[in-house]
Amino acid sequence: MTTTAAREHWSSRIGFILVAAGSAVGLGNIWKFPFEAGSNGGGAFLIIYLAIVFSIGLAVMTAEILIGRTAQRNPAGALKLLKGGPWPAVGYLGILTAFVILSFYVVVAGWTVAYIVKLISGTISGSDPDALGAAFGGFIGDPVEPVLYAAFFMAVTAAVVISGVRRGIERAGRVLMPLLFLIIVLLAVRAMTLPGAAEGLAFFLQPDFSAVTTGTVVAALGTAFFSLSLGMGTMITYGSYLKPTENVPSAALSVVVLDTSVAVLAGLAILPAVFAFGADPAAGPGLTFITLPGVFAQMPGGAWLGPLFFVLLAIAALTSAVSIMEPVTAYLIDELSIDRRTATLGVAGAAFLLSIPSSLSMGLWADYTLFGKGFLDLMDFLATNITLPLGGLLISVFAGWIAHDRLCSELNGPDGGVRRFTHVWAILVKFVAPAAIAIILIDGLTG
């Protein structure tokens, strides 16, 4: 078994914050958040989302990073070390979830790469929603092309993970995250200065609480968990590469602030533009691939802003995909003493095999459904609505009740510096987070 002494660590605190933010900022923020806000009452959704992220989200983020930093192990190994008994099963559940999420995440990520190519080459152009919808449907339904893009994306992800904690993951984060911020700020400024943007801004920022239902709160909670990369041990794994002296709550807060800023910036980049060109903000998942290319086609500078938007998505997706692959790889390295290269190639290869039915479910295999869902939707549903919230619930219970004393003393450090935070954190992980997550879980199962 690999000893703690041999474990690689992030080179600095800022390195950790960038990789953790790189994990959190992904398709969830830029693809999902704006359309969730768009179809759940705009500003009201935003307020509920912010409240959740800075209470429950921050608490569970702190719990995961702290578990990892304390144990210096992958999710299953960490829970085994800290408690044992049935608890490592939560880690195995996370590893399984990671595998499933990775398989469909690279399919959608592959679409973003394809759209960079298609917008630049002009294969996709114009602003007619029907034509754009048909082009998107035709592309994702093709049996070969999107599978190749998924394979490409998986290969790039594996290349980063193979290079290791510092030379691979941290270096990617240091280069790509600042670039991502630059692009999204540029796009937000462009969108907000369009004539007619004010209506979209008002929609996004002015809360309409009459549109709020329990469904809104559940959607905000689910989106928050997915967006913060919580519930499957990504943050446990990244925390395990932190030196034991790092201050966890302040690092967790930085990650939450960065992730939320990007989600808000994505809303500011997308919703004003959608309103300015009279498109439908509640278009749902098709907002990114059907509505936005049409919006860009009509926008001054759209010819290069369109491809740039998809570059942004691809970057965000890459640093997230890396963080979905790493917990599985870390498990194989820590627990089964497999070397990093073999472990990564094995994970990437096996997850890619599972990507194939996901991709084919958009066309050739669209008729094979279970519970009315195709394969990709089914994998997404299983992970996002069931195993992620279940994992988050169990991790909160673990931090709040099972390993609470140990984690609290780790949180306080020798100087007892963050004791006030510790009390609030304890209440959140003991009661508030488990109760709230149980609600999403039940709703997710019945809805």
Contacts with ligand TRP, residue ranges (CB under 6 A)? 23-24, 26-29, 226-227, 229, 231-232, 234, 320, 323-324, 388
Q: Cβ of residue 259: shortest distance to ligand TRP, in angstroms?
A: 8
Q: Cβ of residue 104: shortest distance to ligand TRP, in angstroms?
A: 11
Q: Cβ of residue 52: shortest distance to ligand TRP, in angstroms?
A: 15
Per the CB < 8 A criterion, the answer to whether 233 and 39 are in contact is: no
Q: Which is nearer to ligand TRP, 297 or 347 (CB)?
A: 347
Q: Which is nearer to ligand TRP, 119 or 235 (CB)?
A: 235
- In this structure, what is the dihedral angle of CA atoms 378, 381, 384, 390, given to the nearest 10 degrees? -100
Q: Cβ of residue 317: shortest distance to ligand TRP, in angstroms?
A: 7
Q: Cβ of residue 202: shortest distance to ligand TRP, in angstroms?
A: 26
Half-sphere exposure of residue 17: CA atoms within 13 angstroms, side-chain side: 17
Q: Does residue 395 come out as left (phi exceeding 0), alpha (psi in the -120 to 50 range) or beta?
A: alpha
Q: Among 323, 141, 296, 160, which residue's Cα sits nearest to residue 232?
A: 323
Tokens of 224: 């928050």
Q: Which is nearer to ligand TRP, 271 or 313 (CB)?
A: 313
CA angle, residues 252, 70, 423, in degrees to nearest 5? 55
Q: Which is nearer to ligand TRP, 334 or 380 (CB)?
A: 380
Tokens of 390: 């279940």
Q: Which is nearer to ligand TRP, 231 or 302 (CB)?
A: 231
Q: Which is nearer to ligand TRP, 32 or 73 (CB)?
A: 32
Which whole-number Å values give the CA distances from 35 to 222, 223, 258, 380, in the listed order?
A: 14, 11, 20, 17
Q: Which is nearer to ligand TRP, 188 or 256 (CB)?
A: 256
Q: Which is nearer to ligand TRP, 22 or 302 (CB)?
A: 22
CA angle, residues 365, 366, 371, in degrees to nearest 5? 110
Q: Cβ of residue 180: shortest distance to ligand TRP, in angstroms?
A: 12
From the centroid of its chain, how far is CA 183? 19
Residue 268, number of CB atoms within 10 A of its CB? 23
Q: Which is nearer to ligand TRP, 27 or 165 (CB)?
A: 27
Burial (Cβ within 10 Å: 0-12, 13-18, ≥19) of residue 300:
exposed
Q: Cβ of residue 29: shortest distance to ligand TRP, in angstroms?
A: 5
Q: Which is nearer to ligand TRP, 99 or 275 (CB)?
A: 99
> What's 30's DSSP letter?
I
Which whole-number Å values give the CA distances from 363 to 116, 119, 390, in the listed order?
A: 21, 22, 31
Q: Cβ of residue 99: shortest distance to ligand TRP, in angstroms?
A: 12
Buried residues in 341-368 as b, exposed as e (16+ CB within 10 A)? eebbeebbeebbebbbbbbbbbbebeee
Half-sphere exposure of residue 413: CA atoms within 13 angstroms, side-chain side: 13
Q: Cβ of residue 232: shortest distance to ligand TRP, in angstroms?
A: 5
CA angle, residues 131, 133, 135, in degrees to nearest 5? 70
Per the CB < 8 A criterion, the answer to whether 187 and 19 are in contact is: no
Quickly count helices (H) and strands (E) in the chain: 23, 0
Q: Cβ of residue 101: shortest distance to ligand TRP, in angstroms?
A: 6
